[in-house]
Amino acid sequence: MSQATVNGQTREELEINTLSLFDVLHNSLILRTIAPYLPVYSLLQLSATNKEFRSLIRNTPGVFRHLDLTQVKKAQFDINPIDNGGEVWRNVQLDENLSEDDFYSGPLRGVFNAIQRQDIWKHVQTLILDGLSVTSDLCHELINDTSYSVRILSIRDVKNLNQAKLRGALQYACRPTRPENSPRLKALYVFGSKEAHPETEPEPALQDRESRASISSGWNHKSHQALTSSLERQGDSWWCK
């Protein structure tokens, strides 16, 4: 009598290889796409995790090309007027030696210095300062200082800005004797209102989402409308004097 041997088939267990955060961000296309939506502080914290993340964040081109400082708490200007004697700001006693520009641009300059220590400014091409305390001297540096590489600057609804001095900074940047390939700045957004923070906006309708796909296109449209409206009104047209 022959003996039949039945070999039972065994099912191989399916091994699921889960992707780590590093694996996802190692795709440079993904990293460059999501980086503009992350605060610079979060990117720096991520780069401090280990050597691999630091190398990834620091060496991937375009990670710091878009810098939005509008929601940075230390950049907010919530200080009483300069002529209130005895005020202490950033552990510095206010006195007559402190200029008006130093006072009003102080919080933002503090953030700028922190960014400079991280050697990030050379990568920043789009800088958003809407609603912050931005002085004309600070704008002059951003436009004319070769240590900055800002090509798009947004200063809508900023505080403490001297428009006449801003016009002078632009005229200086476009002078006939300016160095070759200068100024680096190609777009300046001044007119119109700043963008509302996403947390305060209602959920956009489905038909509106396509119109939000291009940030640059939306900014150009709003700036054109604001400029057209300003030209139609009577008043101090400081930009064309």
At 106, the pLDDT band (50, 70, 90 cuts) reads confident
pLDDT value at 87 more than 60: no
pLDDT tens column, 212-233:
445 556 666 666 665 555 555 5
- List own/partner pairs for 232-240 with CB under 8 A and 24 or more apart: 238/163, 238/164, 238/167, 239/163, 239/167, 239/190
At 240, the pLDDT band (50, 70, 90 cuts) reads low
Average model confidence (pLDDT) for the chain? 77
Q: Which residue has better confidence, 231 or 67?
A: 67
pLDDT value at 86 more than 80: no
Q: Which residue has better confidence, 80 or 192?
A: 192
Q: Is the whole model's pTM more than 0.75, yes or no?
A: no
By the 10 Å C-beta count (0-12 exposed, 13-18 middle, 19+ buried), 141 is classed as middle
Domain ranges of the chain: 19-63, 64-77+100-194
pLDDT tens column, 203-214:
444 444 454 445
By the 10 Å C-beta count (0-12 exposed, 13-18 middle, 19+ buried), 133 is classed as buried
The two most distant CA atoms of the chain are separated, in Å, by 113
Q: Tell me the residue length of the chain.
A: 241
What distance in Å separates the CA atoms of residue 30 and residue 18, rounded to the nearest whole number? 17
Assign 3-class secondary structure to 9-49.
Answer: CCCCCCCCCCCCHHHHHCCHHHHHHHHHHCCHHHHHHHHCC
Q: Give the residue carrying structure tokens 């375009």.
A: 62
Which residue, among 36, 47, 91, has the nearest Cα to 69 in the 3D structure?
36
Which residue, among 184, 127, 176, 183, has the nearest Cα to 156 in the 3D structure?
127
